[in-house]
Amino acid sequence: MTTMSGPNEGTGSRDGAGAPLLAIRDLHATVAGREILKGIDIVVPAGEVHVVMGPNGAGKSTLSYVLAGRDGYEPTQGEVVYQGQDLLAMKTEERARAGIFLAFQSPVEIPGVTGVNFLKTAVNAQRRARGESELDAMQFLKLARRKAKELDVGEEMLRRSVNSGFSGGEKKRYEALQMTLLEPRLMILDETDSGLDFDALKTVAQAVNGMRSPDRSILMITHHQRLLDLIAPDCIHVLIDGRIVSTGDRSLAHELEKSGYAQFAGQAA
């Protein structure tokens, strides 16, 4: 197994400021034999917020799944270097333990598994991987309650089965809760803004902003503008038909808002 450094480790000994936390180079990937990603290049330095925007079907979710290591999303070319390691060689859970957190667009229901049990198992699996002591039930409950309160997640939601019967907004807050509990290094937010009312969106954005630090990076996947008003991005990438067709600063998002994706259509073909 490859050795890995935990997200809390080495904060002081990073390579020089702005060294990439994540570097995606010429990444191609297929789903069910069809090529969806056709050469992605994105470099995310530590501490930055990068946004991937694009129309439906551009490959945005595929990118997040490939980075998180989902079965069936096969990288076929290129490389992804995360904290100096070959990310694509790592198992899903190894990536998670190395600090990659994916906030799902539509989190799946897991009947019968209570939130407390699930979250505690996940937190302790990651602590164990980092060589830290596990939290006992009381310690964990105290921590979870505090974080839940901050995110306006009702305590009864912790007792319910994971995501079961949750509304769209509840599911997203629950993702945010997991994120604050697991304290990841790289947060991938997959369409976190979809199906959220403004209040819920604000809460989630607060959670994300509250976690911003020079060590943490965020990769936000969206096709809406409104999240960008709440979480200020450093860099925008436009993804069309499996390729990054344009990279720029915040102003690129405004341009997109005015003129849409059509202006890039030619470049994608």
Residue ranges that bind other proteins, judged by CB under 8 A: 1, 68, 70-72, 91-93, 95-97, 101-102, 104, 107-108, 110-114, 117-118, 121-122, 125-126, 129, 161-162, 178, 182
Q: Which of 219, 225, 227, 226 is closest to 244 using CA atoms?
A: 219
Q: Minimal distance in Å, beta carbon 201 to other proteins?
A: 22
Q: Minimal distance in Å, beta carbon 227 to other proteins?
A: 21
Q: Minimal distance in Å, beta carbon 205 to other proteins?
A: 22
Pick between residue 180 and residue 245 the one whose CB is nearest to other proteins.
180
Pick between residue 17 and residue 156 the one whose CB is nearest to other proteins.
156
Q: Minimal distance in Å, beta carbon 32 to other proteins?
A: 13
Q: Minimal distance in Å, beta carbon 102 to other proteins?
A: 5
Pick between residue 98 and residue 244 the one whose CB is nearest to other proteins.
98
Pick between residue 183 and residue 255 the one whose CB is nearest to other proteins.
183
Pick between residue 162 and residue 189 the one whose CB is nearest to other proteins.
162
Q: Minimal distance in Å, beta carbon 70 to other proteins?
A: 5
Pick between residue 122 and residue 230 the one whose CB is nearest to other proteins.
122
